[in-house]
Amino acid sequence: MAGDAGDWREQGRHRRRVADQARLLGREPLSDPVRAVAALSVVLWLGVMVWLAVSLPDRVPTHWSTSPLADGWSSKPAALALLIGLPLVTFLPIPLLSRLMLSLPDLVNAPYKDWWLGTPQRLVRFERLLREDLWLITGASLLLMAAIGLIIGQAATTPGGQADPWWMWATIVGYLAVIGLIVARMLAGRRYRPPGSLD
């Protein structure tokens, strides 16, 4: 029992040494496709927010239940605060979570954990892979907010704040499908498997 505790402590010390060395190596840059997705999603979201800031009336439909007619309204500043503030506070910080891998390696809970934490170079690669996936989730979430903004902007110009329910459902289902694919790729794909792994 004492030997097991000693092994566990030594593993923890080894992981911290690996993380210390990994931080000295610096982070790997995002791949070009992920960088493009991240940039495009930020630009589209910001573009929709600018359009809304210029075009929304003082009273804005912001909630729909079973009817296509709005049953909840907000002021223009409140609607913009939600559409801008939520991503700033909730979505854009998500990629920063990957940095925890380099400062708190014991938090890593992933398949092949011991392999990824075996050397500083592997940990740096793991952090980059995770950061890329977190950016994809963030990009999808920003596009969701842009789509919601477009729905709100269109509904604000119709009598009763009417919104097309098909667009709302397509937006929600599309977002959930994209997030599901990203998470499935993370958990079941080959992305996080060590080279030469057969399972």
- Measured from the Cβ of residue 33, the count of other Cβ atoms closer than 10 Å reads 10
For residue range 23-44, what is the model confidence (pLDDT) as tens digits? 888 889 999 999 999 999 999 9
Give the CB-side neighbour count of residue 121, counting CA atoms within 13 A: 1
Query: Helix, strand, or coil here: 189?
Result: coil
Could you report the per-residue pLDDT of 75-119, keeping only the tens digit for each? 999 999 999 999 999 999 999 998 888 888 777 777 788 888 888
Number of Cβ within a 10 Å radius of residue 131:
22
